[in-house]
Amino acid sequence: MSLRPMFSLQKTSMKRTLTVAITTAALFSAAHASAQTLRFAHVDPDDWTTSKKGAAGQVFKNLVEAETDLTVELYPAGSLGGETELIEGAQDGTISIAMVSGAYANFCPAVAVTDIPYTFPSAPVAWEVMDGEFGTALAEHCLEQTGLRTLAYGETGFRHFTNSVRPIHTPEDMQGLKFRVQTIPLYLEMVTALGGEPQGIAWGEVPTALATGVVDGQENPISVIYGNNFYEFQDYLTLDRHVYGVDHILINDEIFQSLSEEEQAAVNRAAVVAGTTGRAIQQFNSAEGITKLQAEGMEITQPTAEQMKAFREAAQPPVQAYLRNELGDDAEWIDRLSSAVNDASSRF
């Protein structure tokens, strides 16, 4: 009896088994080929109860890791550098995702238009503008310029003036007062237009400058004012909401494109939730912070609608003129933002 048929059958069976094994391994490998670690960095503390970026980062990590095989490593509190370094790191791919605010305008100048003083009358208007057509168009524009994809927007919140001299109800009350501001031309232009004397002082030197009277006041969101105990040096707070700070959740686009469609979708969803969470934390801490600052003895002024109009009419024209000159062809973003704000304001 010949053994050839049996041997042939065994050989065929072995080939089928090997083929199945190879196919299974290939499928497994393909399914996990994009599994990687995403490095998410920001400059805020990691404590989600006090930090909008800290809360956003933790939410992003939990959602992405729950829905994909991706791992998210968080680098809070400027552990990988300041915002400029984080953006540069995201561009060269050493950082996957950077959550940043004002520094992004140094890489995509059109972003600066969102800092035009007294542009956003309320947070809901800002959310609708940034999450709508304007924000989408700005994201696409900046992607072309920087190679960074905007996954979602968060917020650093509205900025307000504090000082140790007198209550501020109108721009006239700012005459002669020295205010610490960020060393950003737009802020220098704004304070000068309002009648104050802007002083560019490094962040680490602000408490000493306030305590020793080198400056009379400063401007920041409520959570920063309370969190840094500025009430120890400042007696007056004016809720003028002169600038609404936008947070940008940015990912290196090459890294994003390397992800599977399912992973991209999960990352997009997680970023939107993260940005929304950051906004919520910021809003809660701002509302609670006002009560805490009152308890600490600060006199708080809420300008009337007419007084807010005076602030806006004093500050906006010179800042817009400065930006139009700086932006050149990109100056159209000023008008696009104004149109979007007017449209959103009609619904709030």
CATH topology of domain 37-346: D-Maltodextrin-Binding Protein; domain 2 (3.40.190)
Question: Residue 172, Cα to own-chain centre: how many angstroms?
Answer: 32
Residue 23: band (very low, low, confident or very high) from pLDDT cuts 50, 70, 90: very low
How much of the chain exceeds pLDDT 90, in percent?
A: 87
For residue 218, the cross-strand partners are 162, 180
Q: Identify the band that residue 35 occupies on the pLDDT scale cut at 50, 70 and 90.
A: low
Average pLDDT over every residue of 257-262: 98
pLDDT at 26 over 50: no
**Residue 340 pLDDT:** 98
* Residue 49, Ramachandran bin (φ over 0: left; ψ between -120 and 50: alpha; else beta): alpha
pTM of the model: 0.88
**Whose structure tokens read 């809901």?**
124
Cβ pair 263, 68 in contact under 8 A: yes
**pLDDT above 60 for 339:** yes
Residue 336, pLDDT > 80, answer yes
What proportion of the chain, given as a percentage, has pLDDT over 70?
Answer: 90
Per-residue pLDDT reduced to its tens digit, 13-22: 444 444 434 4
Q: How far is residue 19's CA from residue 38's CA, in Å, rounded to a whole number?
A: 34
Asked whether residue 28 carries a pLDDT value surpassing 60, the answer given is no
Q: How far is CA 315 from CA 25, 119, 170, 239, in A?
A: 64, 10, 12, 16
pLDDT tier at 183 (50, 70, 90 boundaries)?
A: confident
- Segment 68-102, tens digit of pLDDT: 999 999 999 999 999 999 999 999 999 999 999 99
pLDDT of 30 reads: 37
Report residue 80: phi and psi, to 5°: -110, 10
**What pLDDT, on a 0 to 100 scale, did the predictor assign at position 22?**
40
Which residues, in sequence order, are CB contacts of 99 under 8 Å at separation 6+?
Answer: 40, 41, 42, 53, 56, 57, 154, 247, 248, 249, 250, 278
At 157-172, the pLDDT tens digits run: 999 999 999 999 999 9
Domain boundaries along the sequence of the chain: 37-346
Cα distance between residue 192 and residue 314, in whole Å: 10
Question: What is the mean predicted confidence (pLDDT) over 259-264?
Answer: 98
